[in-house]
Structure 1
């Protein structure tokens, strides 16, 4: 059966929403609000009483909305700030949610050292503690060795091979296994999996969690790294280390980390997690560009390469891989970006 075009799906979504609210489809005020790196699209619905809602169109052939619905209900019942679910048709891939506005956290960031940027990250860290303390991970898929490995393999497959035409460097297998082992050695908590500023919405001066359908049960440091080594800021090593240590102290006090977890050991685990995520992102951004035809991702590759180098600098026995990044990968990346429209 041929897949519906976006225009056809929009009309189906319009009729679904109109039926839910007893309105004529032609009278429904519906406008595209956003898209994301997946096949999901979001529309703002304006109701006659002035209320607005957000409609999610997630084609079921490409996107399974069951995890989103289950997680949204679980997290909301746990007292976490997530959009309320007002209606659903999972067979069609339609959801009606609270409208949280148009202000993601990155709109409030003012540079790596600006007081506003630091204050907003402090608030996001408070929310992260609440997420890990309130949301139980038992029903979530495991962030296991297989998944960690598949994510890491995106780097040689898509970034090195398909985009840059480079061979996998010596020492890759050892680095890959070390990063997987470090992640698996950490306590397991609820992991949002993209706890970045773009997925934290500011609504009525509060932060809300969105885009959480890929949540897993995994390493305690992963979401911390998503925030502190995300796509918008590159914090100084001292600032990064201070936040990691403050997180460790709070997690030990809450019982999420064993009291025997030293500052040095947790900092090393966080840096290894950061290296894993940077390698994964380098691969994903190339895949989004090459396979999915998405724009705007390649220009962020140097930023995540800097994150990767920052992480590897704090890990033992990574001098050879860092030298390869400096002398082979970084120049090849610069040449390819310069030649790419």
Structure 2
């Protein structure tokens, strides 16, 4: 990607001459292949994205951004797009992520606001979204065995162990499919939520799907980058159940809702163990390793809560955990 070409394209979209005053600077990126830049001119600021079309879902990003905004979710306004080159010019929502501002004194308020936005997102009128069904859920689950167990821990699963994981996947998929299917951001956590004035903005939504109602709730409340006490999380889960019921007119048992949430969390965190290791081993992104112990703790917590998970819990604690503890990145928080 030519930065000069991206800059010239941006200046042309905004009718800024080469000799006009402007400021152009790189902005820190994320786990994708996208590169971000900020252009400031005449008191206004813009974000410019270079997203290789062969790697990134640019059409989806633009369509979903427009759809979410129409549903009352604050997302960056798309100003111009060149799909062939993978260039996107969009509104600048600023730099303030939610994550670094969270503390015990303010998290209830921020999460209440984030869950309100999530509720609107879940009911967005988006069409043609992929379905978060058996195939996608199972493919994600398989990342755990390939990238975390085999490649990172250098452990070879036996046929019996593979069967144990297949059985667990069946349990988790069945639970996911029992739930109301809504619009799911798929990575709705405090690094993808921005504070814009008194509002919360949402970014990184191009992988949205139609999927289980508890998925985004897990992403937020059992964030891979910050952890809160179980009792507090359960209270938030119940708060969202009541809000969802009030909005939709549907009714759900408290215990069933919490079980859906917990099993969805187990699916997500098992997947994330594989994804974070893939980011390290394939893409050289070492920063995600420091978060693996937190994700492991989430897996341990839920695996010990439900009788149907007992076999997996025993195997994970006796076989996988000792191998993880030998890794240089392992450190209990």
| 1:127 maps to 2:120 | no
Counterpart of 2:270 in structure 1 is 279
Q: What do you get for the CA RMSD once the two structures are aligned?
A: 1.8
Deviation (angstroms), 1:120: 1.3
The answer (yes or no) to whether the contact 1:46–1:53 under 8 Å persists in 2 is: yes
The answer (yes or no) to whether the contact 1:138–1:217 under 8 Å persists in 2 is: no
Which residues in structure 2 correspond to 1:54-133 (within 5 Å)? 54-110=47-103, 114-133=104-123
CA distance in 1, matches of 2:23, 2:64: 29
CA distance in 2, matches of 1:25, 1:31: 16
How many residues of Structure 1 are paired with residues of Structure 2 in the alignment? 326
The answer (yes or no) to whether the contact 1:39–1:62 under 8 Å persists in 2 is: yes
Residue deviations 1:10-31 (CA, integer Å, cap 9, x gap): 1111110111123344755210
Assess, with a 3 A threshold, how the Cα gap between structure 1 residues 21 and 263 changes in structure 2: closer, same or farther.
same
| 1:216 maps to 2:216 | no
Counterpart of 2:299 in structure 1 is 308
| 1:184 maps to 2:184 | no
TM-score by length of 2: 0.93
The answer (yes or no) to whether the contact 1:228–1:240 under 8 Å persists in 2 is: yes
Counterpart of 2:147 in structure 1 is 158
TM-score by length of 1: 0.91
The answer (yes or no) to whether the contact 2:64–2:126 under 8 Å persists in 1 is: no
CA distance in 2, matches of 1:275, 1:21: 46
Structure 1, unaligned stretches of length 5 or more? none
CA distance in 2, matches of 1:226, 1:309: 17
Counterpart of 1:296 in structure 2 is 287
CA distance in 1, matches of 2:174, 2:91: 40
The answer (yes or no) to whether the contact 1:195–1:226 under 8 Å persists in 2 is: yes
Secondary structure at the aligned position of 1:124 is classed as helix
The answer (yes or no) to whether the contact 1:68–1:212 under 8 Å persists in 2 is: yes
Secondary structure at the aligned position of 1:56 is classed as strand
Secondary structure at the aligned position of 1:127 is classed as helix
Secondary structure at the aligned position of 1:100 is classed as coil
| 1:235 maps to 2:238 | no
Secondary structure at the aligned position of 1:297 is classed as helix
Counterpart of 1:332 in structure 2 is 323
Counterpart of 1:41 in structure 2 is 35
| 1:171 maps to 2:154 | no
